């Protein structure tokens, strides 16, 4: 049997959850004997392969149309989707934008901020269009496992991957690894 393929990607997040993934430290060497990270924002290949992977991991909230595309593509190309971090599970810090409204947030950030000179709200067609409401990933695609945390601990991520490798599907992480902060 070949290695289990895992692809990761990030949406509206801070990369902290990926840092946590790297914080698995030397255990990642052992993990790589059984799995292959096909693509991730921190590898050369950025997009999950068309032939698909077994496990997809998404960090970050759904904040713009681009996030929706990435989430949908990952969902289509993976058998088991894990949402990691408070942003992907609940909306997280990104969702505080909901309190002021997207337009007001853009205006404040790009036009009114104290350091702005000749500001303009970015509207390049390459960019995703910001959504009115920031949500967790599960509001757009079906999620199989949620690992909250800001960020989730390396132990939590390692635990989930180890369980999956052992053929077990964790429904909810054990209390010592289940954190919101």
Partner 1 sequence: MTKRVNITINGQPVQARAGQTVLEAATEAGIQIPTLCHHPALEPIGACRICLIEISKFQPLHPACTYRVTEGLTVETHSPRVEKARRFVLELLFSERNHYCMYCPMSGDCELQDLGYMYGLDHWIYPTYTRPFPVDASREYFMMDHNRCVLCRRCVRACSELVANHTLGMRERGAKTMITADLDVPFGESSCVSCGTCLQVCPTGALVDKRSAFMGRNVQTQRTVTTCSQCSLGCGMEVVVRGSHILRLEGAWDAAPNGGLLCQKGRFDPLYDSRARLTRPRIRRNGGWEEVDWQTALATVAGRLANIAPDRLGVVTTGAATNEALYLLAKLAQDRWPAAHLGLWQQALPVRLQPQGMLTDLPVADLILLVGADPVADQPVASFLIKRAVDRGARLVIVDDPQNGLAPFAHQHFGRTQVGEAAQIAARADRPVVVYGAELTPEAAEALIGINGASFIPLEPGVNTRAAAALGFKPASLPTNVEALLLLLGEETPGAPPTGSRTANEVFTVVQASYVSPWTEQADVVLPMATWAERSGHLTNTEGRIQTVNAAIPPTGEARPDWQILSALAEHLGQKVPSSLEELSELAQSQITRS
User: Which spans of this chain sit near partner 1 (rule: CB under 8 A)?
Assistant: 83, 86, 89-93, 95-96, 98-100, 133-136, 138-139, 143, 146-148, 150, 171-173, 175, 178-181
Least CB distance to partner 1 at residue 98 (A): 4
Residues 6+ apart with CB under 8 A from 120: 110, 111
CA triple 141-147-150, angle to 5 deg = 110
Residues 6+ apart with CB under 8 A from 124: none
Least CB distance to partner 1 at residue 15 (A): 15
Please list, residue by residue across 155-170, b when 16 or more beta carbons sit within 10 angstroms of its beta carbon and e when fewer do.
ebbbbbbeebeeeeeb
Q: Which is nearer to partner 1, 59 or 86 (CB)?
A: 86
Q: Which is nearer to partner 1, 29 or 171 (CB)?
A: 171
Residues 6+ apart with CB under 8 A from 32: none
Least CB distance to partner 1 at residue 125 (A): 27
Q: Which is nearer to partner 1, 38 or 151 (CB)?
A: 151
Least CB distance to partner 1 at residue 112 (A): 18
Q: Which is nearer to partner 1, 6 or 87 (CB)?
A: 87
């Amino acid at each position: 049997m070949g290695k289990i393929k895992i692809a990761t990607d990030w949406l509206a997040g801070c990369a902290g959850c990926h840092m946590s993934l790297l914080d698995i430290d030397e255990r990642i060497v052992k993990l790589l004997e059984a799995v292959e990270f096909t693509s991730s924002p921190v590898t050369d290949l950025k997009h999950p392969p068309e032939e698909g992977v077994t496990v997809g991991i998404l960090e970050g909230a759904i904040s713009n149309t681009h996030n929706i595309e990435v989430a949908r593509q990952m969902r289509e190309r993976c058998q088991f989707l894990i949402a990691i971090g408070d942003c992907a599970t609940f909306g997280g810090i990104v969702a505080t934008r909901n309190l002021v409204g997207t337009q007001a947030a853009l205006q404040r950030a790009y036009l009114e901020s104290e350091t702005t000179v000749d500001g303009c709200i970015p509207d390049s067609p390459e960019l995703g269009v910001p959504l009115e409401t920031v949500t967790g990933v599960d509001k757009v695609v079906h999620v199989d496992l949620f690992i909250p945390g800001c960020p989730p601990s390396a132990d939590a991520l390692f635990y989930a991957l180890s369980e999956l490798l052992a053929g077990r599907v964790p429904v909810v992480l054990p209390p010592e690894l289940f954190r919101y902060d």
